[in-house]
Homo-oligomer: A and B are copies of this chain.
Amino acid sequence: MASAAVEFARSHHTRFLEELKTLIRIPSVSTLPEHREDVQRAAEWLAKELKRIGMEHVEVIATEGHPLVYADWLRAEGRPTCLCYGHYDVQPPDPLEEWTTPPFEPTERNGNLYARGAVDDKGQMYMHVKALEALFAAHSGKLPLNVRVILEGEEEVGGEQIAAFIREHPERLKADFALVSDTEMFAPELPTLCVGLRGMIYTEIEVRGAKTDLHSGMYGGAAPNPFVALAQIIAGLKDSDGRVLIPGFYDAVKAPGADELRAWKTLPFDEEHYRQTEVGSPELTGEPGYSVIERTWARPTLDVHGMPGGFTGAGAKTVIPAKALAKVSMRLVPEMTPQQTFALYKAYVEKIAPRGVTVEVRLIHQGDAIVVGTENPYIRTATEALREVWGKDTVFIRSGGSIPIVGDFERHLKIPTVMMGFGLPDDNLHAPNEKFHLANFYRGIESIIVFFERLGESR
């Protein structure tokens, strides 16, 4: 027997989806200055919607960067308070030519909605809003528990503004736990809670050789080449197996518990199928001696995202560039800290830099790794809600991705986070043809409704 709120949600699929499409059409790419006004527009659109459904104290909070959106409803005396978090900014859509349909024109195909932000995180964040709307509608304008909503517009660029807000105004976000829907299900139809996240540091290495660009004919053989130097540095950071070579890099790593490792072995996961369907490379690479699940959830890694500088156009330009840049990030696991890892990395890069060039290593942003215990009462209630909606036991996973906000909630608000995500492994996050499986959008809304109703019953 579905609750009245669940019935309300079921009878409004079409409208909910059209609203989501409207939100997605706003190209709120936080990293690109030319989309600044779009990010603002997305914030205002969400504030208006939160007000409409019945939330109170709705506010678009201006910051030094993109705005925050706040709302609350705190009239469920004696009930727990949930802090609903989401982000309305998205990654850049490039490379544009690889999208089947335009990134900001959401398109339905094969039961999926294709668009930048479909699942990360507009679609998932909007599940919260629609669950709250259904609960207000079914409970005579009331919610079964207290709710604060905080939405940010800088998750994809480091989340500095919300981090500052949490540090400076923890009382405004006071809650018993946080709910974040920005993770994925382990497999289709398999209800999943994420109880661990990797942290990260995102850095830039800048190498400078000559004082100006030089002709490679005239100066080749005498002038240092910053791209060659940078390649030598990067080759010194990671071996061809994927083992990071920074001295001390692995020292603080805490291995997962034996029970966690055992549970992971029971998950439906086939490395060869994963290689073929998700990665598509000739081989998988990574630290020897660990499974793919361990390597992506419980081991730190290092990746290079791009190497700007020099000549990147079509054709030929025979230049020895004056400088070269590399965008390098590392994923961290408990108990590594961003500070210590960056210090080890920086010192090592400076040490292995070849002669003839100068090197600068910059920290762009950072986030802590996190683990939430499965015995936590909110995790337990979420598990029950998922069993009711999906008819299956929840699997507990970690995620290789970083959600720095979860670390901030733990550190500054002293609350645990329930990471209840409904993305799928092939959703193409941060890549062309990002999608959200529509059945998951609808069942995600129901899951949150049931979760909140159960929390409202318990004292």
Contacts and interface: CB of A to CB of B under 8 A. Distances in A.
Interface of A: 31-33, 91-92, 95, 98, 156-158, 184, 198, 200, 202, 208-225, 227-238, 240, 242, 274, 278-287, 292, 295-296, 299, 301-321, 324, 326-327, 329, 331, 354-358, 364-365, 399-402, 425, 428-433
Contact of A286 (B221, B230, B430): B221
A211 B279 contact: yes
A317 B219 contact: no
Identify the interface centre among A32, A306, A312, A354: most chain B CB within 10 Å of its CB: A306
A400 B218 CA distance: 5
B281 A223 contact: yes
Contact of A318 (B213, B287, B305, B354): B305
A279 B214 CA distance: 8
Given A307-B310, A311-B305, A318-B305, A402 B281 contact: no
B296 A319 contact: no
Contact of A327 (B215, B287, B311): B311
10 contacts: A32-B315, A217-B399, A217-B401, A220-B329, A224-B285, A231-B233, A306-B312, A307-B307, A315-B364, A317-B327
A319 B221 contact: no
Given A200-B318, A216-B303, A308-B312, 20 more contacts: A31-B313, A31-B315, A198-B217, A202-B318, A217-B399, A219-B400, A223-B284, A224-B283, A225-B285, A231-B231, A231-B234, A231-B235, A232-B234, A234-B235, A283-B356, A305-B310, A305-B316, A306-B311, A310-B327, A316-B364
A428 B278 CA distance: 48
Contacts of A286: 221-222
Contact of A355 (B212, B219, B283): B283
A63 to B, nearest CB: 16
B217 A400 contact: yes
B228 A238 contact: yes
* 7 A-B pairs with least C-beta separation: A217-B401, A211-B280, A306-B310, A235-B235, A231-B234, A221-B295, A240-B354
Given A282-B357, A305-B318, A221 B312 contact: no
Contact of A220 (B157, B301, B310): B301
B213 A431 contact: yes
B356 A282 contact: yes
A428 B316 CA distance: 18
Contact of A211 (B33, B281, B305): B281
Given A31-B313, A303-B220, A284 B364 contact: no
Nearest to A91: B317
A430 B331 contact: no
A328 B292 CA distance: 34
B319 A430 contact: yes
A203 to B, nearest CB: 9
Nearest to A154: B315
A285 B355 contact: yes
A138 to B, nearest CB: 36
Given A327-B311, A356-B281, A402-B217, A304 B225 contact: yes
Nearest to A364: B316
A228 B221 contact: no
Contact of A316 (B184, B202, B217, B233): B202
Given A217-B198, A223-B285, A284-B356, A304 B32 contact: no
Contact of A430 (B215, B278, B432): B215
